Amino acid sequence: MQVKFSNKGNILIVRLIGELDHHASDYVRRKIDGEMIKPTTKNIIFDLSNLSFMDSSGIGIIMGRYRAISRINGQIAVACSNAQILKLLEMSGISKVIQIFSDADKAVKSMLGVTKK
């Protein structure tokens, strides 16, 4: 499991590569939380395009970060084009709470539009 970070203004982009399951979830959670505490982070985009597998642990990570970012009036979005991951996001109800985009660039553009209002 690889976790890569990049920033676009106050948006933290979290790229997850590999399999996000209960074995990797603590590692991923610690890495993301370490980046989230930076004062430059107000919004997060989870780029799940390179995940080959995700279980309910991944849902927990996304929702936990959603709650934390919501407390500071931030936004969270998901970028994903993997049909299996999208189905899991839909079945879990995340798609009703968090916007999902086909790629990270579209998510960034949408979020920058939201943050400029």
In a domain, 113, yes or no: no
Residue 18 lies in a domain: yes
- pLDDT above 50 for 117: no
In a domain, 41, yes or no: yes
How confident is the model over 19-54, as pLDDT tens digits? 999 999 999 999 999 999 999 899 999 999 999 999
State the chain's mean pLDDT as an integer. Answer: 93
Provide the whole-model pTM.
0.92
CATH assignment of the domain containing 14? 3.30.750.24
Number of domains the chain contains: 1
Domain that holds residue 61: 2-106
Q: How many CA atoms lie within 13 A of 110 on its CB side?
A: 17
Share of the chain above pLDDT 90, in %: 91
Residue 88 maps to a domain? yes
Residue 112 lies in a domain: no
Residue 36 lies in a domain: yes
Question: What are the angstrom distances between the C-alpha of 1 and each of 23, 39, 51, 52, 53?
Answer: 10, 26, 9, 10, 10
